[in-house]
Structure 1
Amino acid sequence: MYEFIQKAHSGWAYIVLLTLAIAAVNALAGKLSNRPFKTSDRQISLLALIAAHTQLVIGLILYFVSPLGKDSLGVMTGTQRLTSLEHPLINLIALVLITVGWSAHKRKTEDAKKFQVIALMYSIGLVLIASRIPYQLWF
């Protein structure tokens, strides 16, 4: 079961990174071109939000069934610290920022502001997630 969940978590990470990148670039393009915020823009951003939340659920399951997760919270090596502490914490912060970006865009009335908040928060979330991927375990 652990291996299946670990592969699912690793594979889904590609989808999360791709959808966040697409949503951030789409929002930036919308902001720079001063185009109206359309239903398709909302759907792209929502898809990235759903993908990120799905990754969180898979990650939480993995954390509690993995030997690299909660059981290694004592003395940690570099890899253990990354997988047990840094990766979950930073990715949780990233997900909070993405969620705040989604919620904040709904309260904006100007299309440019909607694009701006999504571009900013999703980009920060994307950078945080990409910075804490345990690449040595990923490939």
Structure 2
Amino acid sequence: MYTGLKHFHSTVAYLVLLLVLIAVLHAILSLRQKRPFTAMSKKFTLYGLIAAHLQLLFGLVLYFVSPVGFGNLSGETMGNSLPRLHAVEHPLMMIIGIVLITMGYAKAKRATADAAKFKAIAWYYGIGLALILSRIPWQVWP
């Protein structure tokens, strides 16, 4: 179960990164070209949000069943960068990044002006994406 979940989590990550990147680029281009916030704009942001939340769910399950996740928390882990990345930095940064994406979606949903919607998505999704990219375990990611 662990190996299959780990591979699934790694594979879905590509989809999440792609969907969030599409949402950010669409928001930036639409903001610059003063386009209206259409149903397609909402779909781009919603698909990115849903994919990120599903990935978080799979990641949390993996964190608690993985030998390098929750079960590996110790003082020794903090002294070594790769185990610390798996046990603390990666999960924490993913949660913060996805919270920012969620806040951006909520802020865009409440906004009335199209420019404000695109601005919220561009900033929140963009910062969330940057945080996520900063703590992907690139050394072991397939």
TM-score w.r.t. length of structure 2: 0.96
What is the CA deviation profile of residues 42-87 of structure 1, one whole-angstrom value per residue up to 9, with x for unaligned ones? 0010000000000001001100110000111102121110010000
Matched residue of 1:37: which SS? coil
2:40 is aligned with 1:40: yes
List 4+ stretches of structure 1 deviating above 6 A: none
Residues 1-139 of structure 1 mapped to structure 2, 5 A cutoff: 1-74=1-74, 75-76=76-77, 77-139=80-142
| Counterpart Cα distance in 1 of 2:113 and 2:135 | 34
Matched residue of 1:7: which SS? helix
What is the CA deviation profile of residues 4-57 of structure 1, one whole-angstrom value per residue up to 9, with x for unaligned ones? 000011001000100010000000011000010000000010000000000001
TM-score w.r.t. length of structure 1: 0.98
Residue segments in structure 2 that go unaligned for 5+ positions in a row = none
| Counterpart Cα distance in 2 of 1:73 and 1:104 | 35
| Counterpart Cα distance in 2 of 1:44 and 1:114 | 13
Matched residue of 2:16: which SS? helix
Matched residue of 1:135: which SS? coil
Task: Report % sequence identity.
Answer: 47
Residue segments in structure 1 that go unaligned for 5+ positions in a row = none
What is the alpha-carbon root mean square deviation over aligned residues? 0.6
| Counterpart Cα distance in 2 of 1:136 and 1:12 | 18
Instruction: Give the counterpart letter for 1:51 in structure 2.
Output: A
Instruction: Give the counterpart letter for 2:25 in structure 1.
Output: V
What is the CA deviation profile of residues 71-113 of structure 1, one whole-angstrom value per residue up to 9, with x for unaligned ones? 1110212111001000000110001000000000011110001
Cα offset, 1:136, TM superposition: 1.2
